[in-house]
Amino acid sequence: MTELQHLLRDLGGARVWVEVLVLLACLALAYGVARLARRGHGDDSVWFGRHVFDGLLFPVLALLLVYAARHGVAQVQPVAVLKVALPIFTSLAVIRLIVRVLGASFAQTPSVQLVGNLVSWLAWGGAVLWITGLLPAVLDELEAVHIAFGKSRISLRTVLEGTLSSGVMLVVVLWISATIERRILREAVGDLSMRKVAANAIRAGLLLIGLLFALSAVGVDLTALSVLGGALGVGLGFGLQKLAANYVSGFVILLERSLRIGDMVRVDGFEGVVTDIKTRYTLIRALNGRESVVPNELIITQRVENLSTADPKMLLTVNVSVGYDSDVERVREILCAAAAASERVLREPAPAAYLAGFGADGLDFSLALWITDPENGQLSLRSEINLAVLRGLREAGIDIPYPQRVVHMK
């Protein structure tokens, strides 16, 4: 008699209702504990989710309670319902862990949703094989399919287990690093750049440790990785030197804090605000909405103007021409009053108007003013001051001359 037949026979027993009551009690206890633990926490966390059922804590508690209840009931009668519930809650806990961590670490893109759906199908498929007793036979068939590389023998089961172990380890590492950054680094490290370099270093170290554990778990000889390390070093020396230089430059930028997130910079003629500093590149967003991806090596090796580190004040000039018969002092008063009327213009140093030159059509004036918020845009401020200047000149009866040319006819 197969294991599935034994299971069906036990499910038809007269005392199945005892297991059903025990299972309901385990679910009620798990729900109550998860609901009490959820108080005072966020509404959408990995442990608790938006509701009690869609978090990780509920299936984990239910799994532990069902596992303990199964061993207790097995001392009195054959176990069937709890035996089926055990793989179900195991699969549910795995699905909740991977899907919730991926949702918290990455944006909800179609690729992330595809990975979540794939994990769900694999977990429920494994649960079905576990319940029906076909899992050992399937594993033996996967072990029989193998590829030989010299004296080494790699089976399909080893590849599958290694992939699953690496995936679970990656998810756990992302969860731990995100928790450390949210719970510890945000309180201990006030500087955003230093917090980012610490988070990147912790994530990289945890990923390396997790990968080594995953490879060791599936039976990969870690001493063979020394050859891979040597080959990787040669590759970095030749083909990957640019990539390695960008990663090293990223850590240098974060450690030296020469650039910080939120600084107004000008790199290679592109001016904008630093929105993010990655390990390989830096994102700079211009005031018109365009975003530039700048390799970190470029920031280290070339001249970069940081408009936020030294003096936050920025000089703007507005040029205007008036007729030669205009009152120069009156024009200067109108220009200074138009600049002083704006709230963004600094009162110290005060706006100043200068007679810049004698143009072909009139007197050229230059209005100099200082601001401290160039990230809020300059075009709107220039338009505001130009409108005030135009209104003041018209009220004073001062003309802005049209271009004039004298043509001599011979």
Whether residue 150 sits in one domain with residue 129: no
Residue 107, domain member (yes or no): yes
Asked if pLDDT for residue 387 goes beyond 90, the answer is yes
The 8 Å CB, 24+ separation contacts for 100-108 are 100/46, 100/49, 100/55, 100/56, 101/46, 101/171, 101/172, 101/174, 101/175, 101/178, 102/171, 102/174, 104/45, 104/46, 104/175, 104/178, 105/174, 105/175, 105/178
Mean pLDDT of the residues in the chain: 79
> Mean pLDDT across the stretch 396-405?
83
Are 16 and 95 part of one and the same domain?
Answer: yes
Q: Is the dihedral of CA 154, 166, 54, 107 positive or negative?
A: negative
Residue 406 has a pLDDT of: 75
Of 220, 246, 268, the position where a domain reaches its end is 220
Lowest model confidence (mean pLDDT) among 51-55, 132-136, 375-379: 51-55
Better pLDDT: 91 or 248? 91
Q: Does residue 232 sit within a domain?
A: no
Look at 136-150, 211-225, 351-365 and tell me which has the smallest mean pLDDT.
Answer: 211-225
Q: Tell me the average pLDDT across 361-378.
A: 85
The pTM of the full predicted model, rounded to 2 decimals, is 0.52
* Per-residue pLDDT, 40: 62
The amino acid at 405? R
Domain closes at, from 79, 101, 133 = 133
333: pLDDT strictly greater than 90: yes
Same domain, 109 and 176: no
pLDDT confidence tier of residue 171, bands split at 50, 70 and 90 = confident
Q: Read off the pLDDT band of 4 (50, 70, 90).
A: low
User: Does some domain include residue 410?
Assistant: no
Per-residue pLDDT averaged across 57-79, rounded? 85
Same domain? For 86 and 171 the reply is no
Query: What pLDDT shows up at residue 80?
Result: 81
Going by pLDDT thresholds of 50, 70 and 90, the confidence category of residue 7 is: low
One domain, residues 59 and 102? yes
63 within domain boundaries? yes
Task: State residue 329's pLDDT score.
Answer: 92
- 134 pLDDT above the threshold of 70: yes
Residue 168: inside a domain: yes
d(CA 89, CA 87): 6
What is the reported pLDDT for 337?
Answer: 92
Q: Starting at the edge strand that comes first in sequence, how are the strands of the sheet with 270-277 ordered?
A: 291-295, 281-285, 270-277, 264-267, 304-306
Nearest to 88 by CA among 67, 73, 115: 67
Is there a single domain that holds both residue 14 and residue 66? yes
Cβ atoms of 371 and 316 within 8 Å: the answer is yes
Q: Which residue has the higher pLDDT, 231 or 133?
A: 133
Q: Out of 67-71, 99-103, 264-268, which region has the weakest mean confidence (pLDDT)?
A: 99-103
Residues 11 and 129 reside in one and the same domain: yes
pLDDT at 303 over 60: yes
Number of domains in the chain: 3
- 387-396: average pLDDT: 91
pLDDT band at 223 (very low <50, low <70, confident <90, very high): low
User: What per-residue confidence (pLDDT) applies to 365?
Assistant: 93
Angle at which helices 3-11 and 81-105 cross, to 10°: 110
Percent of the chain whose predicted confidence (pLDDT) is above 90: 9
* Angstrom distance (rounded) from CA 311 to CA 305: 12
Averaged pLDDT, 282-305: 85
Residues 9 and 129 reside in one and the same domain: yes
As to burial, measured by CB atoms within 10 angstroms (0-12 exposed, 13-18 middle, 19+ buried), residue 287 is middle
Asked if 128 and 151 sit in the same domain, the reply is no
| pLDDT at residue number 386 | 92
- Whether residue 285 is contained in a domain is answered as no
Task: Name the pLDDT band for 176 (thresholds 50, 70, 90).
Answer: confident
pLDDT score recorded for residue 252: 79
Q: Is the pLDDT of residue 1 over 70?
A: no
- Domain that includes residue 30, residue range: 3-133
Same domain, 153 and 127: no
Tell whether 42 and 155 lie within a shared domain.
no
Q: Comparing 9-13, 26-30, 33-37, 405-409, which segment has the lowest mean pLDDT?
A: 9-13
- Per-residue pLDDT tens over the stretch 225-274: 566 666 666 665 665 677 777 777 877 777 777 788 888 888 888 888 88
Same domain, 103 and 172: no
Higher-confidence residue of 187 and 125: namely 125
In a domain, residue 235? The reply is no
Asked whether residue 351 is domain-assigned, the answer is yes
Choosing from 170, 204, 220, the residue where a domain stops is 220
